């Protein structure tokens, strides 16, 4: 009788856990995001690589599903290889919440979303500059991260650093998603 009672209690606890959703999971929005032009975790086509690196330096394209709670979006593309030390290849902020796409090759053109700002990268220039890893340094991982933010404008200058950008947005992130591409020379 006691074993039956313990078994029934355990079943009741399990059933209760199944019926009560994890509140944190239901409250965290999901950001559906993709880079157009290559699959997540695959090699980046050479057209996205700098001219000196053997490519055409075409900025990557991105698509995402709008999040109703987002006031704006921000994009960071950086190199995660230890030699690169988070070398920033593209940093875009104040992307309007109505935007769901940045077309391939849009950097430094009027095809960028109205109101968005391209900031200075580790190259010392504003806008996209693709991979150009040192010859023989192995495969580098380039990670594009899209952030959904709860503010429409960020209080940062064009010359912000990687660390300062992350510090500025840390309390404003609603959701984020990343996409990796690899390249080596």
CA atoms of 131 and 117, how far apart (whole Å): 21
> 165 phi and psi, to 5 degrees?
-60, -50
Global confidence as pTM: 0.84
- Give me the domains of the chain, ranges plus CATH numbers: 29-183 (3.90.280.10)
What value does the mean pLDDT of the chain take? 88
Residue 28's pLDDT is what?
Answer: 63
Tell me what percent of the residues of the chain surpass a pLDDT of 90: 83
Tokens 């053997």 -> residue:
54
Confidence band for 30, pLDDT divided at 50, 70 and 90: confident
Q: Do the Cβ atoms of 57 and 51 come closer than 8 Å?
A: yes
- Select from 44, 176, 35, 39 the least CA-distant residue to 102: 35
- Select from 114, 110, 118, 109 the least CA-distant residue to 99: 114
Tokens 């950097």 -> residue:
107
Confidence band for 7, pLDDT divided at 50, 70 and 90: very low
Residue 29's pLDDT is what?
Answer: 76
Higher-confidence position of 20 and 86:
86
Contacts of 117 (CB under 8 A, 6+ apart): 92, 93, 94, 158
For 84-101, the pLDDT digits (tens) are 999 999 999 999 999 999
Q: How close are the terminal C-alpha atoms of the chain, in Å?
A: 71
Residue 27's pLDDT is what?
Answer: 57
């Amino acid at each position: 009788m006691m074993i039956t009672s313990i078994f029934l209690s355990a079943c009741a606890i399990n059933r209760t856990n199944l019926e009560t959703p994890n509140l944190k999971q239901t409250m965290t929005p999901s950001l559906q995001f993709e880079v157009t032009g290559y699959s997540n975790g695959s090699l980046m086509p050479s057209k996205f690589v700098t001219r000196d690196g053997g490519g055409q330096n075409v900025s990557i394209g991105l698509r995402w599903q709008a999040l109703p709670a987002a006031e704006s979006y921000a994009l960071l593309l950086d190199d995660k290889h230890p030699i690169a030390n988070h070398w920033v290849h593209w940093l875009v902020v104040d992307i309007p919440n109505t935007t769901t796409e940045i077309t391939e090759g849009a950097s430094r053109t009027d095809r960028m979303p109205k109101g968005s700002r391209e900031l200075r990268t580790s190259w010392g220039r504003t806008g996209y500059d693709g991979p150009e890893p040192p010859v023989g340094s192995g495969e580098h991982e380039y990670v594009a991260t899209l952030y959904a933010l709860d503010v429409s404008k960020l209080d940062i200058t064009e010359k912000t650093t990687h660390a300062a950008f992350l510090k500025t947005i840390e309390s404003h992130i609603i959701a984020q998603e990343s996409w990796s591409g690899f390249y080596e020379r």
